[in-house]
Amino acid sequence: MHRTGGTIGLLTNLCWFSFDKARRRFVLETVHPGHSLEEVRDNTGFAFDVADGVAETPRPDDATLGVIRGSIARQIGETYPRFAKQVFPDAA
């Protein structure tokens, strides 16, 4: 499937990277609660930049979680059914 627009970022189980199109590099923006910059560095297989003042990734509110686990999970399941079943086993 072709997706237009190009890369805007990368969400991992440890952090959120934005993508600097001009430099063609990922930039670490936030680290998820319970993780550290050192852990991200140790578990990332590519070089990346680090934003000034890397913050903790904010936790999603209940409404956002509902959308992620509902309509977004279903959309992901259309393209990546095995992945969606593992990550969102209860998505209808």
Predicted confidence (pLDDT) per residue in 7-39, tens digit: 899 999 999 999 999 999 999 999 999 999 999
Residue-wise pLDDT for 67-90, tens only, equals 999 999 999 999 999 998 898 888
Residues 44 and 68 in one domain: no
The pLDDT value given to residue 13 = 93
Residue numbers of the domain that contains 32: 9-56
Entry pTM: 0.76
88 lies in some domain: yes
Residues 49 and 24 in one domain: yes
Residues 14 and 50 in one domain: yes
> How many domains, the chain?
2
Residues 48 and 20 in one domain: yes
- C-alpha 85/C-alpha 55 separation (Å) is 31
- C-alpha 38/C-alpha 25 separation (Å) is 19
